[in-house]
Structure 1
Amino acid sequence: MALAKKGLRKIVIDDQVFYWKIRKIVSHNEKHNEDYGIPVQHGSEGQLLLIYTGFCRSIDYGRESMTITPKLIKSKIMEAIDLGWKFEQPGKTIKLVNGELIS
């Protein structure tokens, strides 16, 4: 599955191009205190990675605001690669949660 192209942000790590995205519209789940999985995909449209950092835009559950930066995304992509994410190969979506890859 490929990410929708609109609103993608590009990041280059070791000459590899990745794209990531944060939706502008707050989802129903986020409004109800569920973490948002930040989607990341290699430029070749390989396996999709969802990065869970605790990011949520719910104002009703006392969450502190969190800024998602390219530096944070880069570190999480590198962590996923170190854990074995095969970003160029097709496959089911994989999640990075608390330092673990979960399929």
Structure 2
Amino acid sequence: MAIPKKGSRLITVDGARFRWRVRRKPTYCQGNSWGPMMFAMELADTLGRVLLVSLPCSRPDAWWGERTMAIRPALVTATIRTALGHGWDPRQAGNAFELALTDEDLTELMNGQPPAYDAPFMRR
């Protein structure tokens, strides 16, 4: 399985190039804030196992006002290192490796700083 190149971003972590991407539009469940915000990543130059990361918040474009956060390169870098530590081998073929992060995990990944959630946005 591969993620589309269009709309993806490149990041280099410990000498390896990765491609990461957030889905362009929310699924119905994500739009209703029933499902978590997710992003995917893989090695940029070779086929292998995709990493699917779910965060403990909603997407910024969710239809109902819930807490959200922006996915920044520092979070992507820390998530890659965490997934590698949990057994993700991006060069291995197979099903997607899923990593569900909690609030405590995000605090730990961001060097003890609590996650910076954006204020809920209510559409009128």
TM-score, reference length from structure 2: 0.72
Q: Secondary structure at the match of 2:70?
A: coil
| Counterpart for residue 69 of structure 2 | 66
Structure 2 regions of 5+ residues with no counterpart?
A: 106-124
- Out of 82, 86, 102, the residue aligned to residue 83 of structure 1 is 86
| Counterpart for residue 46 of structure 1 | 48
User: What letter is aligned with 1:91?
Assistant: G
Counterparts of residues 32-43 of structure 1 (less than 5 Å)? 32-33=32-33, 34-43=35-44
Structure 1 regions of 5+ residues with no counterpart?
A: none
Counterparts of residues 2-21 of structure 1 (less than 5 Å)? 2-21=2-21
RMSD over aligned Cα atoms: 1.5
Where in structure 1 do 4 or more consecutive aligned residues deviate above 6 Å?
none
Q: Secondary structure at the match of 2:84?
A: helix
1:10-53 CA-partner distances (Å, limit 9, x unpaired): 01011111110112322212112211321111121210100112
The answer on whether the counterparts of 2:3 and 2:42 sit within 8 Å (CA) in structure 1 is yes
* Shift in Å, 1:87: 0.8
Distance in 2, Cα, partners of 1:56 & 1:64: 6
Distance in 1, Cα, partners of 2:67 & 2:58: 9
* Shift in Å, 1:67: 1.1
TM-score, reference length from structure 1: 0.85
Distance in 2, Cα, partners of 1:15 & 1:25: 31
**Which has the greater radius of gyration?**
2
User: What letter is aligned with 1:48?
Assistant: V
What is the number of residues matched between the two proteins?
98
User: What letter is aligned with 2:55?
Assistant: T
